[in-house]
Amino acid sequence: MSNNTATFEITVAAGESAPPSNSFSKTDEAIRYLSTILPSIPSSLSSSSNPSLSLLHDPEISTHISALLRRPSAGTGDDNLCRWLYDAFQSGDPGLHLVVLRYIPLLAGAYLSLATLWRPLAGFEAILLALYSHETTSRAGQPVTVNVPDMSHPSLYHESTSPAKNNSTALNLSIVSPTLEPHGAVRSTRRARIVGVALELYFGKIHEMPKSSKIDFCEFCRVWAGDRDDDRNKQSDPSRVGEVNDSEDGVAGRRIPLPWELLQPILRILGHCVMARWANDKEVFDAAKDACRSLHVRAVHDTNAKAILAAESLLRLGNMASLELTNEDEAADPTEIPTTNILTLN
């Protein structure tokens, strides 16, 4: 593989089973093939009434897959787990799509941490390109936009449905995600955009993702920003982009460049995780708040005004959530008469 392109060529090692025949459902095929890759699979998985949902939330399977994705040797062209993830997404089964998206934080984290070393990562890149191609086809050459209300009108109800006659009364379109161009390979200049689209797909289904997947994402965000557990008590050099921090047990991650096309979907996902405080999911909330704090420090160092504003807004939102839910007086109805002031007659 050259430095700029990736070719995905995966072979099944001798003694391993190829994907099963079409006599089984797509999910059954995926589970059967996965059993040849992982050390063990719960016996209850095949007998489940919803195998895809069980595959998505099973903690034993997620532990095994996470360990394989974190290996320093993961993501190469002969990685059978990458082949499984690729085939699962290409199957077109919605349940298997969710299973693949569930591991996007780990896949993106490992890939972005290793890509700067120019290692052959054809397995990771094939999955990311499959996601990118799927989204490119779905959008049909159109950007993702939102309508911003026209402030020249007294209210939304005063806006006319007829075509605008001049720019002063025209609807303001804000582009959330620009038009996608087809790409057949991952080059260094396209890497952030392709990974960003994968994160956008993850965000679109984040309400169906398990808690552990969101926590994995928040942890990688903190590392990408340059904040590591083993560096918190040291005077780190923030200019050391791409420093190797792999351990023998797996990919620990490293500080990476954060262009806006990658940072925008990251902040959107973190926004959802910060809102988890209102859902009483404190573990996800704490991880998201730590990630926002690290990204804010990174944005200040990079003098990125747009990122500073976004990260600081998420931090303020998190502080509001903490204050509202931990202070009973703040959360109480201010019009409610306190019980201590009610007189009772015996």
pLDDT at 238 over 60: no
For residues 318 and 324, give the distance between their C-alpha atoms in angstroms, rounded to a whole number: 10
Report long-range pairs for 185-192 (Cβ below 8 Å, ≥24 apart): 185/4, 185/5, 185/6, 185/125, 185/129, 186/5, 186/6, 186/125, 186/128, 186/129, 187/4, 187/5, 188/3, 188/4, 188/115, 191/112, 191/115, 192/257, 192/259, 192/261, 192/262
Give the chain's largest Cα–Cα span.
89
Which token pair is 170?
């025209």
Residue located via tokens 């398990």: 210
pLDDT at 35 over 70: yes
User: Does the pTM of the predicted model rise above 0.85?
Assistant: no
pLDDT at 280 over 60: yes
For residues 67 and 77, give the distance between their C-alpha atoms in angstroms, rounded to a whole number: 18
At 294-309, the pLDDT tens digits run: 999 999 999 999 999 9
Q: Average the pLDDT over 228-239 and give the result.
A: 47
* Cβ pair 323, 330 in contact under 8 A: yes
Task: Decide which of 5 and 86 is more confident.
Answer: 86
Alpha helices (runs of H) in 231-281, residue ranges in sequence order: 260-274
Predicted pLDDT of residue 205? 94
Predicted pLDDT of residue 336? 58
pLDDT bracket for residue 115 (50, 70, 90)? confident
Least confident of 17-26, 127-136, 279-288: 17-26
Amino acid (1-letter code) at residue 164: A
For residues 117 and 328, give the distance between their C-alpha atoms in angstroms, rounded to a whole number: 51
Task: Decide which of 171 and 293 is more confident.
Answer: 293
For residues 9 and 139, give the distance between their C-alpha atoms in angstroms, rounded to a whole number: 28
pLDDT at 15 over 50: no
Domain-by-domain residue ranges, the chain?
A: 1-150+171-208, 210-232+241-332
Least confident of 1-5, 78-82, 106-110, 261-265: 1-5
The distance of Cα 167 from the centroid of its chain, to the nearest Å, equals 37
Q: How far is CA 344 from CA 257, 336, 340, 341, in A?
A: 66, 17, 10, 10
Beta pairing partners, 145: 175
